[in-house]
């Protein structure tokens, strides 16, 4: 009897082991089986998505018109030629994706280019230009211009002359590199930036800034020339200029701030003949 019970327990234990082994095999095999069960549907879904995108590109989103906004320096055609490029340039969605993955970075005078299409007008490719903020420019020895911002950094180096910016003359500048500090005399650079910020602060218009022997500076404002002379007492001269400017409206000539010192506070205006 004892042997029979022992054999019965052994048989039961063996059956349980077989069941556990089968369950383990099933559990291991289920994910694999499910994947192959859904695999054809996944492939078909991917193919349908690709086909749908392709059909939308060649029909609904096929570009027939390009609109450029935000540009004042480069023409619409210049921007378009630099942004809408490649074999698939007639497909709006492709251009949008291309700009997201690899934005156009070689467009001069610009910080950022945004390309988009809208469902309401899918055949129109829209390009928005964010131009670089520039304060003025310094002519270089090779005939190009170094454009700089409020911080004295070179924003662009180009042969193109941009209107509406502050021309700076009388400074020696052989070469300049985009992204670097304007390579001019350090005292002149500090005076230039301080002068432009102060003129903006006091709301005094400036059409041009000119240096003489890199020791003296003057500002042309309409028909008035503000002669500051040396860089000494520049803050005091600017403060007094802010009070005098309204009195010069309609006049033509030179305001001599160059002779001003704490001991000699006379400021003479010389009318043009």
**Percent helix, strand, coil in the chain (nearest 5)?**
40, 25, 35
Structure confidence at residue 191 (pLDDT): 96
CATH class of the region 65-131: alpha beta
Which residue did the predictor score with more confidence, 144 or 34?
144
Residue 65, φ and ψ in degrees, nearest 5: -150, 140
List, edge to edge, every strand of the sheet that includes 110-118: 65-69, 121-131, 110-118
Q: Give the homologous superfamily in CATH for domain 136-271.
A: Cell division protein FtsQ/DivIB (3.40.50.11690)
Least confident of 3-7, 12-16, 94-98: 3-7
- Mean pLDDT, the chain, rounded, equals 85
Structure confidence at residue 53 (pLDDT): 61
Q: Can you give the C-alpha Rg of the chain in angstroms?
A: 37
Q: How confident is the model at residue 7 (pLDDT cuts 50, 70, 90)?
A: very low
The per-residue pLDDT for range 47-103, each reduced to its tens digit, is 666 656 665 655 567 888 999 999 999 999 999 999 999 888 888 888 988 898 888
The per-residue pLDDT for range 240-273, each reduced to its tens digit, is 999 999 999 899 999 999 999 999 999 999 998 7
Q: How confident is the model at residue 26 (pLDDT cuts 50, 70, 90)?
A: low
Residue extents of the structural domains in the chain: 1-59, 65-131, 136-271
* Mean pLDDT in residue range 220-225: 96
* Mean pLDDT in residue range 174-182: 93
């Amino acid at each position: 009897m004892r042997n029979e019970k022992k054999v019965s327990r052994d048989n039961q234990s063996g059956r349980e082991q077989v069941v556990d082994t089968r369950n383990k095999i099933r559990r291991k095999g289920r994910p694999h089986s499910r994947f192959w069960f859904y695999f054809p549907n996944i492939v078909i879904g991917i193919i349908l998505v690709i086909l749908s995108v392709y059909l939308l590109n060649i029909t609904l989103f096929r570009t027939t018109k390009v609109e450029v906004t935000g540009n004042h320096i480069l023409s619409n055609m210049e921007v378009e030629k630099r942004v809408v490029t490649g074999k698939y340039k007639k497909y709006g969605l492709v251009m949008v994706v291309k700009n997201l993955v690899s934005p156009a970075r070689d467009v001069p005078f610009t910080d950022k280019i945004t390309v988009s299409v809208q469902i309401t007008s899918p055949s129109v490719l829209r390009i928005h230009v964010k131009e670089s903020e520039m304060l003025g420019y310094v002519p270089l020895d090779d005939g190009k211009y170094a454009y700089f911002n409020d911080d004295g950094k070179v924003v662009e180096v180009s042969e193109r002359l941009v209107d509406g910016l502050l021309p700076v003359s009388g400074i020696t500048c052989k070469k300049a590199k985009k992204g670097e500090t304007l390579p001019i005399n350090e005292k002149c650079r500090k005076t230039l930036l301080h002068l432009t910020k102060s003129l903006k602060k006091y709301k005094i218009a400036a059409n041009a800034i000119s240096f003489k022997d890199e020791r003296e500076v003057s500002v042309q404002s309409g028909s008035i020339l503000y002669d500051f002379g040396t860089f000494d007492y520049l803050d005091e001269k600017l403060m007094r200029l802010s009070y005098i400017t309204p009195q010069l409206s309609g006049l033509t000539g030179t305001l001599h701030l160059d002779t001003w010192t704490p001991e000699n506070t006379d400021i003479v205006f010389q009318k043009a003949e």
